Amino acid sequence: MCTVLVTGGLGFIGSHTVVELQNEGFDVIIIDNLSNSSISVLDNITSITGIKPAYFNIDLKNKEAVQHFFNTNAVQGVIHFAAYKAVGESVLKPLDYYENNISSLVYLLQEMQKHQIHNFIFSSSCTVYGQADKLPITEDAPIKFAESPYGNTKQIGEEIIFDTTKASHLKAIALRYFNPIGAHKSAKIGELPIGIPQNLIPFVTQTAAGIREELSVFGSDYPTPDGTAIRDYIHVVDLAKAHIVSLKRLLNNNHKKTFEVFNIGTGKGNSVLEIIKTFEKVSGKKLKYKLVERREGDITAAYADTTIANTELGWKAEQTLEEALLSAWEWQKTLIT
Ligand code: WQD
């Protein structure tokens, strides 16, 4: 039995990845300090798979706690989600973001090196590309000056990992996520934004549920067909599955380089207005929205070239935008009651 540590395993993408790991027969240990998740997710994961993951409430900034964990638990691989991830908040609290996202990564890698754990999957982001010059975006697109401290922590994180693979036996894969949306088909796990949602889809579903008065569409003067910004919205379960194939690639030594990067998206871009129209179609709900000013730091368009992920990982997004949006709505409806 292969034991995998999933940091941030009670979070949105982490919890969906834990379910897929358990479906594949992996033994999962979760570390999560509940700073952006709820302990109820642990039981919800268990109710889906019938297997309760081991769970430790550890703050990865606590070096001694991280050392103690690795001194007392044997793992063969680590999937690292735990990080602060709100772009806007990172601009207001840069030092919190650098301290949390960077020091926790360093402590994790130090313990992996000490305990000869060589397989590492890192949660990165398409944010590292900024506004790419060419679309769709390939992995060799230039890394641009980060628009936010959050995006910078992802760029720095990739550099730290790359340097560590050069100086040790570490094998690592960074997955550059595009926009994860939706929820598990059981509607037992999904996105749980705390407070006012920063991301589009939870704001859409909360507006449809009557929790939010009206959706603001940030910008209608972009150089796009309908004037609203374009993103690559990928079903979170498709994204979770990309972590499984990546981990197996490392465990089976099928990697071509000790540090590899893959874009994980659908390869298709959709505008905000297209998202609204598609959501209305699949949910049967009319969405109240208004066109307002652009949001500071937003880019016009981003969608992935997934050729490398398709050919090297043998992975491709399978679920449609309609299925993703409907799953988000089914999940939201469980939250109203
Ligand atoms: C999507 C589009 C908004 C809210 C972020 C992170 C990125 C990654 C994915 C972690 C944009 C518009 C949004 C609203 C709107 N996360 N929008 N009204 O900014 O593309 O990416 O999430 O890795 O790192 O930056 O996602 O969902 O915030 O915005 O019009 O109320 O929806 O302007 O065009 P984003 P988002």
**pLDDT tens digit at each of 337 positions of the chain:** 799 999 999 999 999 999 999 999 999 999 999 999 999 999 999 999 999 999 999 999 999 999 999 999 999 999 999 999 988 889 999 999 999 999 999 999 999 999 999 999 999 999 999 999 999 999 999 999 988 899 999 999 999 999 999 999 999 999 999 999 999 999 999 999 888 999 999 999 999 999 999 999 999 999 999 999 999 999 999 999 999 999 999 999 999 999 999 999 999 999 999 999 999 999 999 999 999 999 988 999 999 999 999 999 999 999 999 999 999 999 999 996 5
Residue 153 in domain? yes
Residue 9 in domain? yes
Confidence at residue 193, expressed as pLDDT on a 0 to 100 scale: 87
Tokens of 173: 């894969």
Confidence at residue 337, expressed as pLDDT on a 0 to 100 scale: 52
Confidence at residue 297, expressed as pLDDT on a 0 to 100 scale: 83
Residue 11 in domain? yes
Tokens of 329: 């709505």
Residue of 84, 97, 107, 150 marked active site = 150
Q: Is the pTM of this model over 0.95?
A: yes
Residue 255 in domain? yes
Q: Count up the domains in the chain and report the number.
A: 1
Does the annotation count 222 as an active-site position? no
Q: Is residue 300 within 6 Å of ligand 1 at its C-beta?
A: no
Residue 93 in domain? yes
Atom of ligand 1 nearest to the CA of 302: 20
Confidence at residue 88, expressed as pLDDT on a 0 to 100 scale: 84
Residue 170 in domain? yes
- 29 to 79, 101, 175: CA distances (angstroms): 10, 20, 20
**Sequence-ordered list of residues with C-beta below 8 angstroms from that of 59, at least 6 positions apart, any chain:** 33, 35, 65, 104
Alpha helices, H only, the chain: 12-23, 40-49, 63-72, 87-92, 94-98, 104-114, 149-167, 200-208, 236-251, 272-283, 307-308, 321-336
Ligand 1 centroid – CA 41 distance (Å): 24
Residue 311 in domain? no
CATH of the domain at 96: 3.40.50.720
